[in-house]
Copies of this chain bind each other. A is one copy, B any other.
Amino acid sequence: MAGTEGATRKLTMDDIRAAAERLKNWGRWGAEDELGTLNFTAPSDIVAAARLVQKGKVMSLALAYDAKGPQGGKTKYPALGRFNPIHVMLRTGTDAYSGVLDHRKIRGADDIIIMPLQCGTQWDGLGHIFYGDHMWNGYDCRNVTSAGAQKCGIENTREKMVGRGVLLDIPRLLGMDHKAERHFGVQVRRGDYLIVRTGQMEAKLAEQNWDGYSGGDAPGLAFETLDWLHAKQVAAIVTDTWGVEVRPNQTDEATQPWHWIAIPIMGLTVGEIFYLAELAEDCAEDRRYEFMFVAPALPITGAVGSPANPLAIK
């Protein structure tokens, strides 16, 4: 992970192209695969993950979805058109109280949500980012049309997002990030859901001000972590920031260069805007940084992302 000060040398497009060659997983799980690194988690990993449940404690890693969410804050970067969830009612308790529902012979409330799929705690699907004219596994990017993603839609992941979660709690390392695994007494393994806490979200929550969060500068993973993630064979990577990778970008030639490689080239599923405060506190308390992780995406056909209520169960 890199701090906000950025890396020492600016990346070039040649660095990005070289990484693409070096880290490409296309075809690794067959020409028809739409799941990428989620394939790394084996059934036996899931059984083992369930064994980590020892005190019966469930922790949600989701921010509430509402008008106070992280969209709409000011940043110096261009906006993406995302907005906080708009929640409206189709029937209400005030309708009930007013008697206007009684012709139905039942008094009830009902509601609608209007939300960008990546406005809050969310999974990036493998259709979210392209490399040139291609997406994960070499599919043509024209598979993602105004009608949605015909390849790599998030609905393919409906029986994934279950495994061992491992928390790397960077602020508690006091800068010794290169030794994160050893420090926490936890070894990152194939098929893990790796969860990295930077503390940035909690800082914003404490300020009650999201300015600079969505799309802004952030601590996060440096481009150089891609090789390590590739070698470790994690199923997915998650952070408490807007976009996982360090910002400002480590290059002027590409925006979010880590994304260019992670999603379309490696097929890495990425989780963003996860709320990690409660989990971090619990791990610090019992000194156990591993847990069962269950974080299903909604199977929205053709979606390139999904909100989620990810659970860490210990």
**Does A18 lie at the interface of the complex (its beta carbon under 8 Å from any beta carbon of B)?**
no
Bound Cα distance from A93 to B149, whole angstroms: 8
Q: Are A253 and B299 in touch, CB under 8 angstroms? A: no
Verify if A20 is at the interface (C-beta below 8 Å from B): no
B298-A97 in contact (CB<8A) = no
A98→B129 contact, CB < 8 A: no
Contact of A94 among B98, B292, B307 (CB under 8 A): B98
A86 with B83: CB separation less than 8 A: yes
Is A9 in contact with chain B by the CB < 8 A criterion?
A: no
A142 to B143, CA, bound (A): 17
A145 interface contact, C-beta 8 A: yes
The 8 A CB mask of A129-156 against B (1 = contact, 0 = none) is 1111101000011111111110000010
Bound-state CA distance A256–B101 (Å) is 14
Please tell me if A284 contacts chain B, counting CB pairs below 8 Å: no
Q: Out of B42, B106, B162, B302, which one reaches A256, CB within 8 Å?
A: B106
Question: In the complex the two chains form, is A129's CB within 8 Å of B143's CB?
Answer: no
How many residues does chain A have at the interface if contact means C-beta atoms less than 8 Å apart? 108
How far does the Cβ of A97 sit from chain B's closest Cβ, in whole Å?
A: 5
Q: Could you tell me if B46 and A145 are in contact, using CB atoms closer than 8 angstroms?
A: no
Stretch binding the partner chain, chosen from A110-118, A179-187, A222-230, A233-241: A110-118
A304 close to B (CB within 8 Å): yes
Complex Cα spacing A50 to B47, Å: 9
For residue A43, CB closer than 8 A to chain B, the reply is yes
B residues less than 8 Å from A93 (CB atoms): 98, 127, 130, 135, 140-145, 149
Q: A55 near B: Cβ within 8 Å?
A: yes
Complex formed: what's the CA distance from A260 to B107 in Å? 8
User: Is A116 a contact partner of B90 (Cβ separation < 8 A)?
Assistant: yes
Contacts of A260 in B (CB 8 A): 106
Known: A108-B130, A305-B111, A313-B46. A62 touches B146 (CB 8 A): no
Query: Which residues in B have their C-beta under 8 angstroms from that of A56?
Result: 42-47
Contacts of A113 in B (CB 8 A): 113-115, 117, 300, 303
**CA gap between A64 and B44 in the complex, in Å:** 27
A54 at the interface (CB under 8 A from B): yes
Whether A95 and B294, one on each chain, are in contact in the complex, defined by CB atoms closer than 8 angstroms, is: no
